[in-house]
Amino acid sequence: MSATHKHSRRRTALFITLILATTFLSTFPPAFLWANTIEPRWMALPFAMVWHIGLALIAAVFFAVWYLLESRSGALDLQVDDAEDAA
């Protein structure tokens, strides 16, 4: 496996971990129950709701950074022959 592919795999693992971490914090009982409170409220919204929206926005940022890094490395410009060309 080339160094480029190893780097790509490490990057994929990192971003999967980061995005799943946001999901873990909003989904699994220890973190989710900790955040399942009304106070402190923000813009009148309960903290529980702010927690979920905030984590989702953080996940969206992780997606954006992941995309930008993949884009810069050329991983999104794969050339694929279709079946007719390959034949």
Partner 1 sequence: MIPVILLLAFLALILFINRRQLGVSTMADYATANHSIGVLGITFGFLATWYVGAGYTVFSGFAVSFGMIGMYVIPYGIITLLVMYLVAEKTFIWGKKYQLRTQSELLGLRYRSDFIRVLTGFAGVALSVPWLLMEWYTIGYVFNYATDGFISPLLGMIIGIFVVVFYVALGGMRSVVTANIVQGLYMMIVGSAVLIYVLYSELGGLSAAMDRLFYETPEAMIFPGPGWDVSPNYWTAIIITSGLGGFMWPWVYNKLFAADSIRTIKQSVLFAPVLGILSFALLFILSMALHPLPFAQENPEEALFWAHSQAGVWPLGLFAVLVMAASLGTVSGILNAMSTAISGDIAQVINRKITERTALRIARWSVVVMSIGALVGAYLKEGQLVFLALMTYQGMIVLSPVVLLGLYWRRANKFGAVAGFLLGMVVSFGLTLTEPEFIQTYGWTPGVYGFLTTLIIMLVAGYLRPVESHVDNLWQDIATARNRSVDSNLAIQGNNPG
- Binding residues (CB under 8 A) for partner 1: these are 2, 4-5, 8, 16, 19-20, 22-23, 26-29, 32-33, 36-38, 41, 43-46, 48-49, 52-53, 55-57, 59-60, 63-64, 66-67, 70-71, 73-84, 86
60, 19 Cβ separation under 8 angstroms: no
Minimal distance, residue 53 CB to partner 1, in Å: 6
Q: How far apart are CA 34 and CA 45, in angstroms?
A: 17
Minimal distance, residue 10 CB to partner 1, in Å: 15
Minimal distance, residue 51 CB to partner 1, in Å: 9
DSSP annotation of 28 = S
The DSSP annotation for 43-68 comes to TTB-HHHHHHHHHHHHHHHHHHHHHH
